[in-house]
Chain A
Amino acid sequence: MATFKEFRNNVKPNWCPGCGDFSVQAAIQRAAANVGLEPESLAVISGIGCSGRISGYINAYGLHGIHGRALPIAQGVKLANRELTVIASGGDGDGFAIGMGHTVHAIRRNLDITYIVMDNQIYGLTKGQTSPRSAEGFKTKSTPEGSIESTLSPLEIAMSAGATFVAQSFSTDLKQLTLLIEEGLKHKGFSLINVFSPCVTFNKVNTYDWFKENIVNLEQFPDYDPTNRIAAMNKIMETNGMLTGLIYQNKERKSYEDLVVGFQEKGLANQDLTLSPEHFDKLVAEFK
């Protein structure tokens, strides 16, 4: 069994010192080892942004695609080979702005993918413009007078789109984050893990200290039941989306792969794809 070190490679991330994304990288590596994966059995598909570089910093198969499209690519990988463990990841702009349509539909589709968003409430790679996650009034290079659009709540959207696994964490809480990623990897279906991952360079408002002050850890509520959808929705709204922990999980609903008629346990990529002459003749006969 691989240790977390085997998920490390010798590439030095080009993130700024102190960037929240370092811990997300470490948490993924630990979680992968803890659930018993091998580097070859994991594919990390990422979008474009500072955070999107993450697939290049993990020793596993990985594809760094185009902005906003990590999820459809990841779903294609999973459909082609369901024996693989597939992680999709990227920033809040990647997943909740340009890629929002895919996020909602990936949630509805419920393929067995773990989606980890590094949410820094700003665009890092393009050097500091507003994101759908930015607070109203938040001043950025593209909103010098402060953002006048309402803040998007990915957790509420995920819940209303029928998500079967919704969690949130904070990058400094490596223990919780690792555990949630493990749960996400084990979950049979689509799991969304939104991670507050501060951008130390361009976001001077939503800093480490700010998050520490504002975050509510679900551990504070011993009676909280993550299988209760209404309670989950209430808690998200009560805390203005600032809660961390496993917010919701539905273990009943089957994953997409289990619902596709004719889909086998063996990955398609490992099946023999030749068509028998008899089968071909049958197909041709329909056109006579």
Chain B
Amino acid sequence: MISQLSWKIGGQQGEGVESTDRIFSTALNRLGYYLYGYRHFSSRIKGGHTNNKIRISTHPIRAISDDLDILVAFDQESIDLNAHELRAGGVVVADAKFNPVLPEGINARLFPVPITSIAEDLGTSLMKNMVASGASWALLGLPLDVFNKAVEEEFGRKGAAIVEKNVEAVKRGADFVLELAGGPIEEFQLDPADGKQKLFMIGNEGIGLGAVAGGCRLMSAYPITPASEIMEYLIKKLPPLGGTVVQTEDEIAAVTMAIGANYAGVRTMTASAGPGLALMMEAIGLAGMTETPLVIVNTQRGGPSTGLPTKQEQSDLNAMVYGTHGEIPKIVIAPASIEDCFYDTIEAFNLAEQYQVPVIIMTDLQLSLGKQSCEALVLDEIAINRGKLVRELPELETHQLFKRYELTEDGVSPRVIPGDKGGLHHVTGVEHDETGRPSENSVNRQKMMDKRLTKLNGMYIRDAVRVDAPHESADILVIGMGSTGGTIDEARTRLEKDGLKTNHITIRQIHPFPTDLVKSYMDNAKKVVILENNATAQLAAQVKLHVGQAEKISSVLKYDGNPFLPSDVYKACKELS
């Protein structure tokens, strides 16, 4: 019995790769296994090789694996491109239709299953996904009734006849492959899962759910990979709660509409990726200057320009930290798991209102789109906090204005919303006085700049730095952000086995930089390895700027469009030691 296994399906885009993955993994989730998915796709709709990989485990996992146990191939290209990942003794289940062959030197077993013809026999080649997932399920020797139940749920709405056909397709795929393999494959028998029902979702859904839970009721956004799922989720979930999503004409409209709605008192977000973030920059400055709460999600993908729009990268860090002209307070937070996506989104709305600043939630493509198991989520773990918002106000005298920008000890002023009596004030992106009236007075200017720029002093989010640091003094401290945490964890386990004392921290508060926290772990490490998916070591630059200790730091960078593998991290650390 084994505790984890990797499965991949490949084919042409639009050929059922996605749906095969969905049905197979939903059924595995029902059994209580931990799952971690990775989608390799390109920016076209039909055609072009695509593959989905899932890691299945009896214990929590948060990284893709270095190798592969089962490859399901809809075409020869999928074998040619992916067979090298197979471990010795791995299995390829391929559609017999194209007379599959294994490339030379690949030590794996090939099971040609007439996937297309079984599906066509049952009425439509669309059912290829059922045949393929049935065959995969059978090789693992898992109970078929759980699988059939997932099929029933997927197709139940279409009527009993359709369900029956699909169940039959699953069965034929299973029977055929078991015949070829002589029964389920012994090395692929997984230990039973803990049976506890996990949630299974992508990061973007975690963000969407967090937004709903956090009181967000409006979203304005413009579609872009890999952010669109957030608006697609919210347009289904907000209307029953009285809200909506507006697909705007561009990202400038998206962000300014969100600013208008936040000014008017409703928690509103926008989401985009690098190109859209670039368009939002001027407006982010307006939010900073007018102290209007704002939540922006930036799902990073390969840049610059259109770059690698469907690939992994973490290269917008500088743009998020330094973007917009002039100097404003701004918060940038980086969820590192699906659970974080949920909780951090609620917290982002709180921070935006408590500090009256723009908050950017930065994810990366792998976190936004990789489907993963997620622990139970608790609605009221983070209570909604609207900061200094006041709704009941005394009346104003004639020509008196409410001091919306009152100079206070903590720099945060009471906030009112339009419509409320006693709150009249002006708002402008021009430098202004306490009532919001434009002012070029140099004394006022300096006071207002200081007020805004000191608001975030001493601010720490929950888990600003996530720590896995068992050693009081470590040989290596590995620092990462975003989706790389699980990969580092696995590498760490291997390094520890080799006798290297390895600590690991994930920086979740990117800006303002949590200097003291990061420093305390760096102080206790002989060497520091900073891992990031970009070419210019942007996170390392932040660390060097704020903490120093440059002589200790080495960077491990990957910017070929793919997430780090545990072996990348392991090798890099070994070389250093």
Contact = CB atoms under 8 A, between A and B. Distances in A.
B286 A273 contact: no
The DSSP consensus for interface residues of chain B is mixed
B264 interface: yes
A65 interface: yes
B78 interface: no
A76 B399 contact: no
B266 A72 contact: no
Contacts of B428: 55-56, 63-64
A274 interface: yes
Nearest to A42: B418
B244 interface: yes
B487 interface: no
B205 to A, nearest CB: 7
A69 B252 contact: yes
B200 interface: yes
A267 B261 CA distance: 11
B199 interface: yes
B156 interface: no
A76 B261 contact: yes
Interface string A76-110: 11111101100000000000000001101100010
Interface in B104-134: none
A65 B292 CA distance: 11
B272 to A, nearest CB: 15
B242 A264 contact: yes
Contact of B257 (A75, A260, A262): A75
Contacts of A270: 419
B259 interface: yes
Interface in B251-266: 252-254, 256-266
B29 A79 contact: no
B559 to A, nearest CB: 32
A280 interface: yes
B218 A84 contact: no
Given A63-B290, A75-B260, A76-B264, A69 B215 contact: no
B349 to A, nearest CB: 10
B267 interface: yes
Interface size class of B (residues with CB under 8 A): 35 or more
Interface stretch (B184-192, B233-241, B494-502, B532-540): B233-241
A233 B259 CA distance: 35
Contact of B399 (A9, A102, A104, A273): A9
Given A40-B419, A269-B419, A287-B201, A65 B261 contact: no
A268 B374 contact: no
A43 interface: yes
Interface string A154-190: 0000000000000000000000000000000000000
A63 B200 contact: no
B421 A10 contact: no
Interface string B337-377: 00000000000000000000000000000000000001001
Interface in B208-259: 209, 212-213, 215, 217-218, 220, 237-244, 246, 248-250, 252-254, 256-259
Nearest to A260: B244
B257 A79 contact: yes
A283 B419 contact: no
B379 A63 contact: no
Given A73-B259, A287-B201, 13 more contacts: A63-B427, A65-B256, A65-B286, A69-B283, A75-B246, A77-B260, A80-B262, A101-B250, A109-B246, A269-B264, A269-B419, A270-B419, A288-B197
Closest 10 pairs between A and B when the two form their complex, measured CB to CB? A76-B260, A262-B239, A269-B265, A80-B264, A61-B418, A76-B261, A73-B260, A64-B428, A76-B257, A80-B266
Interface of A: 9-11, 39-41, 43, 45, 55-56, 59-66, 69, 72-81, 83-84, 101-102, 104-105, 109, 260-264, 267-271, 273-275, 277, 279-280, 283-284, 287-288
